[in-house]
Chain A
Amino acid sequence: EAGVTQSPRYAVLQEGQAVSFWCDPISGHDTLYWYQQPRDQGPQLLVYFRDEAVIDNSQLPSDRFSAVRPKGTNSTLKIQSAKQGDTATYLCASSSDWGIYAEQFFGPGTRLTVL
């Protein structure tokens, strides 16, 4: 069974540019998460979906970040106008269950550098 796939694996931008990250979760997983992982820190949840519905986006910088999962399968995270502080690895994860015992399976991430 294929794991969580993400693309691109790397992105380098100038401040003010836009970028999109794409995630394909494990087949059948109805819950999808986006995390931001700054260098030498743990992942920090940005937003998560159950099917196509946003469950929590309270940590998503709404003025520049957006995330969609229109058909409840693949998802796109977009940064409208990148800042140097957005430099981090963006991780996508998926789970088949709902609740605290749901194991999250992570993709390899997209490493973003904003110059």
Chain B
Amino acid sequence: QQQVRQSPQSLTVWEGETAILNCSYEDSTFNYFPWYQQFPGEGPALLISISSVSDKKEDGRFTIFFNKREKKLSLHITDSQPGDSATYFCAAFLSGGSNYKLTFGKGTLLTVTP
């Protein structure tokens, strides 16, 4: 059972456009959501994250919008650059007592065309 879902699987935008990547989750106990960026041949790297007490988090060209009631998030990348071409993973932290685990979605492959 996929607890964190991402859409679309792949997305192509032109340089300068805004890319919108979607994420949804099922477990209402998830309370912290990091987004990771992964380039081919590399491990994922933390890009931006949001806590469930916030509805928006901004860092430069990257913004997370969070709707707790609908259990949905989206990552907006404004003024997309070819260097942003990568796979983006939405993840969610599940904590149970002293056990903290990250659950990842399947990712969205973003291609930015010059």
Interface footprint category on B: 20 to 34
A-B CB contacts (within 8 Å), total count: 52
User: Chain A interface mostly helix, strand, loop or mixed?
Assistant: loop
Which stretch (B38-46, B53-61, B67-75) binds chain A?
B38-46
- Contact across chains for A93 and B43 when beta carbons are under 8 A apart: yes
- Contact across chains for A91 and B43 when beta carbons are under 8 A apart: yes
- Contact across chains for A108 and B41 when beta carbons are under 8 A apart: yes
> Restricting to B5-47, which residues have a CB under 8 Å from any CB of A?
31-32, 34, 41-46
Report B-chain residues with C-beta under 8 Å of the C-beta of A98.
100
Q: What distance in Å separates the Cβ of A36 from its nearest Cβ neighbour in chain B? A: 11
Assess whether B99 is interfacial by the CB under 8 Å rule.
yes
Q: What distance in Å separates the Cβ of A42 from its nearest Cβ neighbour in chain B? A: 3
| A contact residues, total (Cβ < 8 Å) | 24
Assess whether B113 is interfacial by the CB under 8 Å rule.
no
- Contact across chains for B32 and A101 when beta carbons are under 8 A apart: yes
- How long is the Cα–Cα vector from A103 to B101 in the complex, in angstroms? 12
- Contact across chains for B32 and A100 when beta carbons are under 8 A apart: yes
Q: Which of A43, A91, A100, A109 has the most CB of B within 10 A?
A: A100
Q: List residues of A whose CB falls within 8 A of some B CB.
A: 4, 40-45, 48, 55-56, 91, 93, 98-109
Q: In the complex, given contacts A41-B107, A108-B42, what are 9 additional A-B residue pairs having Cβ atoms less than 8 angstroms apart?
A: A4-B43, A56-B101, A93-B43, A98-B100, A103-B34, A106-B43, A106-B45, A108-B41, A109-B43
